[in-house]
Structure 1
């Protein structure tokens, strides 16, 4: 019985570790994708989807920054917005919870559900 409990805890810890790695830079996101590709951990998959959405949304908003003045203002506001969302996602991963990111998290889960 102890072995079963340990394997469940180990699996949970492994998924939690992958989820945390997903939030640490773009390289960490790619590493998390590779680590989660063979054995899918539900927690890790959830946070990988959330981070993918955050990265893609940041990329799209970053393209708006090409527009002088208005684009710069939008980017400045977006930096704080994405920083807040990233911190909330990282805290959720550290706590081992599947809590969607504020504002767009539910959409990310819906759009990337096949990942």
Structure 2
């Protein structure tokens, strides 16, 4: 990928990993620009957040502090990993579930 595309999209790609509103802000600010690097990371961040909410709703029915802490650590790690990849300018999906997010949200940015 062109180095200028990565450089131009790096800020919004990093913003997309901020709490849910960051993903929405990055999506709408990138709507006219359509930077492929930013779109890649918006798909990753959106997938992580949706997956987090699904898991959080499921875990909320179980009264286990240890399970909730594991959930927070797991998703915190995924968000940190995605943020670092965006910050360093790499097209690296988050482990295990990242390729699914790219497939499921492939229409974002088109």
Provide structure 2 residue ranges, at least 5 long, that are not aligned to the other structure.
none
TM-score (norm 1): 0.83
Name which structure has the greater RCO, CA cutoff 8 Å, separation 6+: 2
Q: Normalising by the residue count of structure 2, what TM-score does the alignment of the two structures yield?
A: 0.87
Distance in 2 separating the partners of 1:98 and 1:86: 15
Cα RMSD (Å): 1.7
- Give the ranges of 4+ consecutive aligned residues of structure 1 lying more than 3 Å apart after TM superposition: 8-12
State how many pairs are aligned.
Answer: 107
- Classify 1:11/1:75 alpha carbon distance in 2 versus 1 (closer, same or farther; 3 Å): same
8 Å contact kept, 2:5–2:36: no
**Structure with more helix by fraction:** 1
Task: Compute the displacement of 1:66 (Å).
Answer: 2.6
> What CA deviation, in whole Å up to 9, does each residue of 1:32-67 have, x standing for no partner?
001110111111000000000000000001101332
